[in-house]
């Protein structure tokens, strides 16, 4: 009986270890930020900030060296540029050089002078990013870029706030983001062509958005102010002062949603609808402006770019940041590392693997093999055709005898 127990124990050990070992020998293209790439900024004077930061670190397994702790008053919505520069100097000193982005573990302050705090953290406080209303602002070099390392490439660290009115709300947000990873949700994109002419400036690009997303996501342009009673919301982009019926919607984990209006980014003290309402309704990330931006579509997310970047495996932080041409006056909120469309490799049975990813165009999949991690690599199987949209490929690989695989597509 004891011998049988040990045989069973050994088999359990083998089947639990070897799949992980095999997957570790397969290299996939990197498409977005990983936990080691992000630093969490915590305000030690704010009990909720400490609670959020600690939970996020544990939930996302972020290294202790990437935790930045500050002490300042959290009672005001707005920091002065002088106050911020002092905090930024400390942040810059404490941030490891490899860090590419920030998760901000508080809800207030959300603004620095005329900039959002997420943009001030990225660019430093500079008035060129927050010109007077109805004027252009400095552009973001990160806009629609292919960069996977924004600090290395542009010397900026995009930031996103883990924001909410309670720990329960923010914990649910974080859990949704984690649950969304590699899930490839089958949802709908809703683009609202509203009756609010002042806030409907993005509608001019909706037809092109549908064209670019065909075969990747199902997209509907609706000539109405809002939707209700939908259970498949993956993207929701609109322009209204306040969006009704959010409580009737089911947002899929990883959903992005925002409304173009003047003060959605005034998270806790706006006379319009706060962008927090999207997160409370079930979205995983959102965006809003913290001062009057005028109705420049460049100061708000481009639905087409946000969705395309997301489809290619970017995180919520990356997809949203890359979609805003002039982000100086806008605040990004949500779960930064959510990656519902990052390439996913699964061992479905011993030695049998399934690879899943989205592509924005047709191309070819190349799987190369080497018996050394350093190469050289040679073709392992014949190249496979990639189609636009979702792709799924099966292949056999034995990590003990086949060495290492390098998979990429173009």
Percent of the chain with pLDDT over 70: 95
Confidence of residue 1 (pLDDT cuts 50, 70, 90): very low
Any domain includes 283: yes
What are the C-alpha distances in Å from 305 to residues 171, 208, 323?
A: 28, 11, 5
Within this chain, do residues 141 and 252 fall inside the same structural domain, yes or no?
A: yes
Number of domains in the chain: 2
Any domain includes 85: yes
Which of these three, 302, 334, 366, is where a domain ends?
334
pLDDT in tens, 25-76: 999 999 999 999 999 999 999 999 999 999 999 999 999 999 999 999 888 9
Any domain includes 279: yes
Distance CA 70, CA 64 (A): 15
Distance CA 327, CA 288 (A): 10
Least confident segment among 114-118, 228-232, 406-410: 406-410
Any domain includes 340: no
Q: Is the dihedral of CA 99, 104, 109, 114 positive or negative?
A: positive
* 3-class DSSP assignment, residue 362: coil
pTM value is 0.93
Half-sphere exposure (CA, 13 Å, Cβ side) for 391? 23
Within this chain, do residues 327 and 391 fall inside the same structural domain, yes or no?
A: no
- At 386, which CATH number? 2.60.40
Helix (H) or strand (E) holding 160: strand 159-161
pLDDT in tens, 355-400: 999 999 999 999 999 998 888 999 888 889 999 999 999 999 998 8
pLDDT in tens, 258-316: 999 999 999 999 999 999 999 999 999 999 999 999 989 999 999 999 999 999 999 99
Within this chain, do residues 354 and 329 fall inside the same structural domain, yes or no?
A: no
Within this chain, do residues 98 and 45 fall inside the same structural domain, yes or no?
A: yes
Within this chain, do residues 227 and 323 fall inside the same structural domain, yes or no?
A: yes
For residue 82, give its domain range.
35-334
Within this chain, do residues 266 and 236 fall inside the same structural domain, yes or no?
A: yes
pLDDT of residue 21: 64
Within this chain, do residues 256 and 396 fall inside the same structural domain, yes or no?
A: no
Half-sphere exposure (CA, 13 Å, Cβ side) for 159? 30
pLDDT exceeds 60 at position 15: no
Any domain includes 339: no
Distance CA 338, CA 279 (A): 14
Q: Are 275 and 267 in contact (CB under 8 A)?
A: yes
pLDDT of residue 2: 35
Within this chain, do residues 192 and 67 fall inside the same structural domain, yes or no?
A: yes
pLDDT in tens, 76-88: 999 999 999 999 9
- Return the bridge partners of 368, or none: 379, 406
What are the C-alpha distances in Å from 219 to residues 181, 186, 206, 211, 215?
A: 21, 12, 9, 9, 10
pLDDT of residue 13: 33
Q: What is the mean pLDDT of residues 85-107?
A: 98
Within this chain, do residues 128 and 242 fall inside the same structural domain, yes or no?
A: yes
pLDDT of residue 17: 38
Within this chain, do residues 107 and 13 fall inside the same structural domain, yes or no?
A: no
pLDDT of residue 74: 84
Which of these three, 313, 334, 355, is where a domain ends?
334
Report residue 400 as tokens. Answer: 């003990």
Q: What is the mean pLDDT of residues 126-138?
A: 88
Q: Is the dihedral of CA 326, 78, 235, 390 positive or negative?
A: positive
Distance CA 330, CA 180 (A): 25
pLDDT in tens, 192-207: 999 999 999 999 999 9
Within this chain, do residues 156 and 280 fall inside the same structural domain, yes or no?
A: yes
DSSP 8-state symbol, 231: S
pLDDT of residue 20: 56
- Contacts of residue 20, defined as CB under 8 A and 6 or more positions apart, other chains included, come to none
DSSP 8-state symbol, 283: -
pLDDT exceeds 90 at position 134: no
User: How many CB atoms sit inside 10 A of residue 348's CB?
Assistant: 10
Distance CA 239, CA 260 (A): 4
Which of these three, 334, 359, 392, is where a domain ends?
334
- Return the bridge partners of 384, or none: 365
User: How many CB atoms sit inside 10 A of residue 22's CB?
Assistant: 20
Any domain includes 136: yes
Phi first, then psi: give them for residue 111, nearest 5 degrees. Answer: -140, 150
- Return the bridge partners of 238, or none: 259
Within this chain, do residues 255 and 300 fall inside the same structural domain, yes or no?
A: yes
Q: What size, in residues, is the chain?
A: 410
Q: What is the mean pLDDT of residues 209-224?
A: 97
Averaged pLDDT score across all residues of the chain: 93
pLDDT of residue 213: 97
């Amino acid at each position: 009986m004891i011998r049988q127990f040990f045989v069973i124990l050994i088999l359990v050990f083998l089947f639990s270890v070897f799949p992980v070992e095999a997957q570790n020998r397969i290299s996939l293209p990197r498409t977005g930020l990983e936990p080691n790439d992000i630093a969490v900024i915590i305000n030690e004077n704010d009990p909720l900030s400490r609670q959020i930061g600690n939970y996020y670190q544990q939930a996302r397994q972020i290294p202790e060296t990437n935790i930045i702790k500050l002490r300042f008053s959290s009672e005001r919505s707005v920091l002065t540029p002088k106050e911020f520069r002092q905090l930024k100097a400390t942040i810059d000193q404490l941030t490891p050089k490899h860090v590419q982005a920030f998760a901000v573990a508080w809800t207030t302050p959300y603004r620095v002078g005329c900039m959002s705090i997420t943009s001030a953290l990225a660019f430093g406080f500079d008035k060129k990013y927050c010109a007077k209303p109805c004027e252009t602002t400095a552009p973001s070099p990160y806009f629609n870029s292919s960069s996977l390392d924004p600090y290395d490439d542009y010397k900026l660290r995009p930031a996103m706030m883990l924001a909410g009115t309670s720990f329960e709300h923010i914990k649910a947000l974080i859990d949704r983001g984690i649950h969304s990873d590699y899930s490839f949700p089958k949802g709908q994109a809703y683009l609202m062509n509203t009756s609010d002419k002042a806030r409907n400036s993005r509608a001019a690009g909706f037809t092109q958005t549908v064209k670019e997303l065909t075969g990747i996501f199902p997209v509907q342009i609706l000539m109405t102010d809002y939707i209700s009673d939908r259970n498949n919301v993956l993207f929701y982009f609109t322009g209204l002062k306040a969006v009704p019926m959010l409580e009737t919607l089911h947002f899929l984990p990883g959903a992005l949603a925002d409304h173009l209006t003047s003060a959605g980014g005034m998270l806790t003290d706006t006379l319009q609808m706060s962008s927090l309402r999207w997160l409370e309704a079930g979205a995983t990330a959102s965006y809003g402006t913290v001062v009057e931006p005028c109705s420049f579509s460049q100061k708000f997310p481009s639905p087409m770019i946000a969705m395309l970047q997301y489809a290619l495996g970017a995180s919520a932080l990356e997809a949203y940041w890359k979609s805003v041409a002039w982000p100086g006056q806008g605040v990004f909120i949500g779960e930064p590392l959510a990656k519902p469309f990052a390439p996913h490799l699964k061992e479905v049975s011993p030695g049998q693997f399934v690879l899943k990813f989205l592509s924005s165009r047709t191309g070819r999949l190349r799987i190369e093999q080497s018996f050394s991690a350093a190469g050289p690599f040679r073709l392992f199987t014949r190249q496979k055709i990639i189609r636009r949209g979702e792709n799924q490929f099966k292949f056999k690989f034995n990590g003990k005898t086949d060495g290492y695989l390098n998979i990429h597509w173009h």
